[in-house]
A and B are shown apart, each in its own frame.
Chain A
Amino acid sequence: MKKVKLSLIANERSRKTSFIKRKDGIFKKLHELSTLCGVQACALIYSPFIPVPESWPSREGAKKVASRFLEMPPTARTKKMMDQETYLMERITKAKEQLKNLAAENRELQVRRFMFDCVEGKMSQYHYDAKDLQDLQSCINLYLDQLNGRIESIKENGESLLSSVSPFPTRIGVDEIGDESFSDSPIHATTGVVDTLNATNPHVLTGDMTPFLDADATAVTASSRFFDHIPYENMNMSQNLHEPFQHLVPTNVCDFFQNQNMNQVQYQAPNNLFNQIQREFYNINLNLNLNLNSNQYLNQQQSFMNPMVEQHMNHVGGRESIPFVDGNCYNYHQLPSNQLPAVDHASTSYMPSTTGVYDPYINNNL
C-alpha cells in the first residue's frame, strides 16, 4: 500500500478522482457507524468541483440532524467540536507521546540485553558511556528486586531444590579486558572491530557518543523545555521571562556586572565560561533594549529602577534580610502611582499579546 503524502494534490484530475473516491468512502463509513451503533450522523461536503454540496444521508436527513445539533445549547455543542487545526494538534501530541513510550521500551530492551551480555563476560565488546552505565545500574537493581521476590516465593512455596541445568560461565580475565576497554578516552571513543556476535546482532548497543554530544543533547532538551514554558506563561500570567532585562538602564550596566562578580566571589569560585556567556547574552539584550526604548519608557524605567539599584548597592557588603524587606516595602509604596496607567496600557495591548502566542510555536516547527 503506497503512502499518500499529506498535502494538496497538484494534478487537478487526480485530485477530482481522489475526491470522489474518498467522499464515497466517508459516506460508507458514516453508514456503517450509524448502523452499528444506532446513532444519528450527518455530513456536509463542499468542493470546488461540484457546485451543489454533497450531504449524507440526504439533504432532508442531514438538515434534520443539523437542526438537532443547532438546537443544543452552545456549551454542549462546542464542547466536542473540532476543526482541522485542533484535530491535527491533538493527533501530533498523541503520536509524540506514543513515540516517547516506544523509545523508552526499546531502550529498556537494549539495556537488558547489555546486562545479560555483561553477566556472560562480554562487557569488553561494548562501547558505553556514563548514561549507559547508569541505565545498566537501574536495570540490575530492578532485576535483583525481581530475583529476591522470586527467591522469597520459592522458599514460601517449598519448591524442590533442583541443581542448575548447566554450569554458570566463569568470567576469567574479564576485569583486565574491561579495564583496557574502559581506558579509552571518551573523546576519542570509536566503534571496535565487529566480531561474529556483533554481526549476528545488528542492534548491539554501541555507546560511541562523546560527552560533547551529550552536552549538545542536554542543550537541546533545555531548549525544548524552554519552549514549553512560553504559551503557558503568555496565556495565563501575562508575564514574560525576557522583561527583566528591559528594565536595566544602560547607565547601570557596569554596576550590574560589578555586583554580579562580587556576589560570585563571595559564594563560589568564579567561572569564566559562565561570565562569558552571561556577558554576551546581556550585550545582545542591551542592543535590543536600546532599539526598543522610546523616551517614555526610558524615563519610566529610570524612575523605577534607580531606587532598587541603590538599595541593592547599599547592601552588597552585608546581607541582612530586614533592610531588604524595608527596601521591598519602599518599592511597593512607589508602584501605586504607576499602577493605573500600567493597567490601562496592558488592557489595550492584550490583543497583540494573544496574537503573539502563536509565534513561538511557528518558530518551534521551523
Chain B
Amino acid sequence: MARKNLGRRKIELVKMTNESNLQVTFSKRRSGLFKKGSELCTLCDAEIAIIVFSPSGKAYSFGHPNVNKLLDHSLGRVIRHNNTNFAESRTKLRIQMLNESLTEVMAEKEKEQETKQSIVQNERENKDAEKWWRNSPTELNLAQSTSMKCDLEALKKEVDEKVAQLHHRNLNFYVGSSSNVAAPAAVSGGNISTNHGFFDQNGNSTSAPTLPFGFNVMNRTPAGYNSYQLQNQEVKQVHPQYWARYY
C-alpha cells in the first residue's frame, strides 16, 4: 500500500539489504534495547547482561552490575552470593539519583516541546495574507523587501537607543546595591587583569565568583607550587564537608 507520509510503518521481519538503512536500524534498535534493559534493572531489581555484535563485528554490551561478572557466573558456574556490601549500596543510591535526574530532564524537555508546538501552531493559525511582512524573506518581492528593510533599520535605531538608556540606568542601580552578586564578579575580573603580583593572583583566584578566572591563573603557577598542593590532598579528603562550604 502506497503511503504519502512516511511515518511509522510495519516492516517484514527479514534481513535488510540496504547497507546504510541496516546500520541506522541497528543503531536505533540497539539503543532501544539497552534502554529497555536499564528500565528492567531499575523496576524489577534484575541483573542483566546483553551482548550484541554489530554488522561490522564490534561488540556492544550492556550489563548491570557488570557484564563480566554475570558471564563469569554463568560460564564458570560460580555460586552467586547475595551479600550486599557497601560499594553496591553506594552504586544503587547513585543509580537512583541518576534516574531521578533523568526523569526531571525528560519532563523539562517535554515542556519545552509543548511550548514550541503551541508557538508554531499559533503562528500557523494567525498567518494572514494581509500581513506580508511576517513572511519569510524568500517570499518577498523587491518593493516589499525594500520597505521592510527601511522599517527594520528604523526599529533597530530605536532599540539601540533603548539599550543604551537601559544600560546607563542599570549602572546607577547596581552601584548602590549591597546584595547583588554580579557586581563583585565584574570587579574581581577587572582586578585580576590589572594585578601584576604573583601572590595576589593566587589569593584572588580563590573567591567564588571569580573561580573561572582563577582556574586559568592556576595553570601558570610554577611546578614546585603544584607539588606543594599535592601535599595537602589528604587534608582535603579528611573533611568531606569541606566542599559543601563553598557550594
Q: How far is the CA of A108 from the CA of B16 in the complex (A)?
A: 41
Q: How far is the CA of A345 from the CA of B165 in the complex (A)?
A: 58
Q: Which of B55, B73, B108, B120 contacts A37 (CB 8 A)?
A: B55
Q: How far is the CA of A350 from the CA of B230 in the complex (A)?
A: 9
Number of B residues near A (Cβ < 8 Å) is 166
Chain B residue nearest to A233 in the complex (CB): B215
Between A15, A42, A150, A264, the greatest number of chain B beta carbons within 10 A of the residue's beta carbon is seen for: A150
B235 touches A161 (CB 8 A): no
B140 contact set on A, CB distance < 8 A = 147, 150
B243 in the interface (beta carbon within 8 A): yes
Q: How many A-B residue pairs have CB under 8 A?
A: 518
Q: How far is the CA of A222 from the CA of B182 in the complex (A)?
A: 10
Looking at chain B's contact residues, the main secondary structure is helix
A249 in the interface (beta carbon within 8 A): no
Q: Which of B50, B66, B71, B206 contacts A285 (CB 8 A)?
A: B206
B6 contact set on A, CB distance < 8 A = none
A341 contact set on B, CB distance < 8 A = 231
A173 in the interface (beta carbon within 8 A): no
Q: Which of A33, A63, A143, A161 contacts B26 (CB 8 A)?
A: A33
B50 touches A43 (CB 8 A): yes
B29 touches A36 (CB 8 A): yes
Query: Chain A, 113-129, contact with B by CB distance < 8 Å: what is the 0/1 string?
Result: 10110111000000001
B141 touches A88 (CB 8 A): no
B75 touches A63 (CB 8 A): yes
A274 touches B187 (CB 8 A): yes
A30 contact set on B, CB distance < 8 A = 33, 50
A223 in the interface (beta carbon within 8 A): yes
A53 CB to closest chain B CB, in angstroms?
6
Query: Chain B, 189-203, contact with A by CB distance < 8 Å: what is the 0/1 string?
Result: 011001111111011
Q: Which of A36, A274, A338 contacts B16 (CB 8 A)?
A: A36
B51 touches A42 (CB 8 A): yes
B109 touches A38 (CB 8 A): no
B25 touches A9 (CB 8 A): no
A163 contact set on B, CB distance < 8 A = 143
Evaluate whether A212 and B180 lie within 8 angstroms (CB atoms) in the complex, with A29-B32, A353-B233, A365-B97 already known. Answer: yes
B169 in the interface (beta carbon within 8 A): yes
Q: How far is the CA of A264 from the CA of B200 in the complex (A)?
A: 11
Evaluate whether A95 and B106 lie within 8 angstroms (CB atoms) in the complex, with A22-B40, A85-B94, A346-B230 already known. Answer: yes
Evaluate whether A222 and B199 lie within 8 angstroms (CB atoms) in the complex, with A33-B26, A110-B119, A143-B152 already known. Answer: no
B221 CB to closest chain A CB, in angstroms?
8
A227 contact set on B, CB distance < 8 A = 247
B54 contact set on A, CB distance < 8 A = 39
B91 touches A346 (CB 8 A): no
Evaluate whether A84 and B41 lie within 8 angstroms (CB atoms) in the complex, with A166-B132, A226-B211 already known. Answer: yes
Query: Chain B, 204-247, contact with A by CB distance < 8 Å: what is the 0/1 string?
Result: 01111101101100100010111111111111111110111111
A113 CB to closest chain B CB, in angstroms?
7
Evaluate whether A281 and B80 lie within 8 angstroms (CB atoms) in the complex, with A82-B34, A297-B232 already known. Answer: no
B25 contact set on A, CB distance < 8 A = 36-37
Minimum-distance CB pairs A-B, first 6: A335-B224, A346-B230, A19-B44, A352-B237, A88-B98, A102-B112
* Apart from the given pairs A22-B36, A312-B199, 6 other A-B contacts in the complex at a CB distance below 8 Å: A38-B16, A95-B102, A102-B116, A237-B226, A281-B208, A349-B233
A-B contacts, 10 of them at CB < 8 A, read A6-B43, A36-B15, A67-B75, A92-B101, A95-B106, A144-B153, A163-B143, A211-B173, A256-B203, A308-B198
